[in-house]
Amino acid sequence: QRLSLLLLLLLLLGPPTTPGMEDPAFPHMGESSQPPPRACPLRCSCPRADTVDCDGLDLWLFPHNITREAQHLSLQNNQLQELPYNELSRLSGLRTLNLHNNLISSEGLPDEAFESLTQLQHFYVAHNKLSVAPQFLPRSLRVADLAANQVTEIFPLTFGEKPALRSVYLHNNHLSNAGLPPDAFHGSKAVTTLSLSNNRLSYLPPSLPPSLERLHLQNNLISKVPRGALSRQTHLRELYLQHNQLTDSGLDATTFSKLHRLEYLDLSHNQLAAVAGLPRTLTVLHLGRNRIQQVEAARLRGARGLRYLLLQHNRLGAAGLPAGALRPLRGLHTLHVYGNRLERVPLALPRRLRSLVLPHNRVAALGARDLAATPRLAELNLAYNHLVSARVHHRAFRRLRALRSLDLAGNQLTRVPSGLPTGLHTLRLQRNQLRALEPEPLAGLDQLRELSLAHNRLRVGDIEPGTWHELQALQVLDLSHNQLSFVPPDLPEALEELHLQSNRISHVGPEAFLSTPSLRALFLRANRLHMTSIAPEAFLGLPHLCVVDTTGNPEQVLIQLPSTAPRQP
């Protein structure tokens, strides 16, 4: 009877199943029918099947169980000191390896691991503790960033024999010329960008890739460019040599002559007295902070395409820019000669010049024809020179019909110059000795948008009636640091920003701003205002006013802004 019951039970339950032989049509209770999730290291993110992102997790150890299918691995901003060979070498499909900003030393970066990374294209290991570069990097490499380490040496196969390599960044290391092998880029004929700035190079390295388009060598100890060192770099477009120790003997007339595509050359912050042999393709030339005493036309003849010439902080004296010295530069757009010793505006400047920047020189006079050769000038900066009103000719600006910005700040002018171009948008006259404002010099300036008269000696009684009458477009007026005792009347209607700080204003009446309904910002700090100094009705007609600064007065002044104006915190 018991045997019959057992046989009946077996028939009802069916045959027993064995491990690995479960019927897929009957999953176990709780088992999902979805495929199992792909492995991702703890705390990391894996937004795609080929991407593992472990950025900024304060990791001290290389993460385990990174999928072999990973093509892009980011481990930047961690505390890694080494990469285990066995973990890295199995990731043979990696195309991007980002190790930026860790603590990895050269000993912690095994050369052998890279032999397996045959598809690696982008390698970022900047901001680590490398003392030497890896002896071998994969042939497939396109971008290598080893910047901001302590690298003193690279090897022939670090960057050599890489036909796809395009960009190499080695700036902010400890490289000297002895640490760069002569065949460092042999077989790498596609490199377009090389950054070696902020190292310890004493001369321009030979055997650089002929394919280079951008070469950064600034902030080294370079005193010499060996003859022929740049003869093969015919594709070079940008060359940065600023902040070195170059002298005239370290360059010769052929140094740059073969660079037929060079557009940008920075030689600032060196010890040069002259530069010759410039290519005609050059567009921007930085020569600031050198020892140039005179500019000679013969040395510039080759650079006929030059548009921007920067000569600031040199030793250009009275004869530093002889008449016609820049005449070969027919397309010159901008000339900077800030901080020299020029005593007058250079004569016979190129007619197409648009910007002339001459502050901090010794220019004491402007003659009737000093600016006649530059009718297209749009910006003229003569700030902080020695100009006095008596020596500024009333026709000095007559031909500058295209002038939009005129800076005469920091001179010794006692009145606004006459004959200003009517197309001016900006006029800066701060830090002079102005004691009076008259309508005539400002007449016709109906396009003027910004006028600075700060740091002068103006009193309200010195501002004649009608002075502002024709300034119909004026939006910003700075009268700060003068001797005004109240808000000047009849200010321009379009005014949006009014600076009156650091005057002697003790009262603001109800009609002070009737003429300026568009006012948005008013600065009255550091005056002589008291709690009851401002009439309650003063701001009623100013619906756009949102900033009123009254700090630094004898008493705290409470301002009631119009109800329609936005409140400032």
Alpha helix positions (H), 288-366: 297-300
Which residues have C-beta within 8 Å of that of residue 367, sequence separation ≥ 6? 393, 396
58 domain residue, yes or no: no
pLDDT tens-digit readout, 493-507: 999 999 999 999 999
- pLDDT, greater one: 10 or 135: 135
pLDDT tens-digit readout, 435-458: 999 999 999 999 999 999 999 999
Which residues have C-beta within 8 Å of that of residue 544, sequence separation ≥ 6? 496, 517, 518, 519, 520, 565
Distance between CA atoms of residues 492 and 477, nearest Å:
9
**What average pLDDT does this structure show over 394-401?**
96
Residue 542, domain extent: 482-488+497-568
Q: How crowded is residue 314: how many other Cβ atoms within 10 Å of its Cβ?
A: 25
| The pLDDT value given to residue 563 | 60
| The pLDDT value given to residue 423 | 97
Amino acid identity of residue 408, one-letter, is L
501 domain residue, yes or no: yes
514 domain residue, yes or no: yes
| The pLDDT value given to residue 32 | 38
Distance between CA atoms of residues 5 and 13, nearest Å:
13
**Paired sense of beta strands 355-357 and 238-240, if any:** unpaired
Residue for token pair 């400890």: 174
Say if residue 6's pLDDT is above 50.
no
Distance between CA atoms of residues 180 and 390, nearest Å:
62
| Extended strands (E) in 300-376 | 308-310, 334-336, 355-357
Q: What's the gap between Cα 454 and its chain centre?
A: 29
pLDDT tens-digit readout, 522-562: 999 999 999 899 998 999 999 999 999 999 999 988 776 76
pLDDT tens-digit readout, 77-92: 999 999 999 999 999 9
| The pLDDT value given to residue 564 | 53
Distance between CA atoms of residues 199 and 149, nearest Å:
11
Q: Which residues pair with 178 in a beta bridge?
A: none
What kind and span of H or E run contains 46?
strand 45-48
Torsion-angle region of 30 (φ positive above 0: left; ψ -120 to 50: alpha; else: beta)? left
- pLDDT, greater one: 458 or 301: 458
Say if residue 344's pLDDT is above 60.
yes
524 domain residue, yes or no: yes
pLDDT tens-digit readout, 251-294: 998 999 999 999 999 999 999 999 989 999 999 999 999 999 99
| The pLDDT value given to residue 561 | 73
Say if residue 14's pLDDT is above 50.
no
Q: How many domains does one find in the chain?
A: 1
Maximum Cα interatomic distance, the chain, rounded to a whole number of Å: 136
Distance between CA atoms of residues 481 and 502, nearest Å:
5
What's the number of CA atoms in the CB half-sphere (13 Å) around residue 143? 11
539 domain residue, yes or no: yes
What's the number of CA atoms in the CB half-sphere (13 Å) around residue 68? 5
248 domain residue, yes or no: no
Q: What is the mean pLDDT of the chain?
A: 91
| The pLDDT value given to residue 75 | 98
pLDDT tens-digit readout, 108-132: 998 888 999 999 999 999 999 999 9
| The pLDDT value given to residue 301 | 85
Say if residue 182's pLDDT is above 80.
yes
What kind and span of H or E run contains 193?
strand 193-195
Please, what sign has the CA dihedral across residues 17, 18, 24, 26? positive
| The pLDDT value given to residue 4 | 44
Reduced to 3 states (helix: H, G, I; strand: E, B; else coil), residue 343 is coil
551 domain residue, yes or no: yes
Torsion-angle region of 523 (φ positive above 0: left; ψ -120 to 50: alpha; else: beta)? beta
Candidates 550, 438, 432; CA nearest to 487 is: 550
549 domain residue, yes or no: yes
| The pLDDT value given to residue 113 | 85
Range from 164-168, 210-214, 276-280, 495-499 carrying the lowest mean pLDDT = 276-280
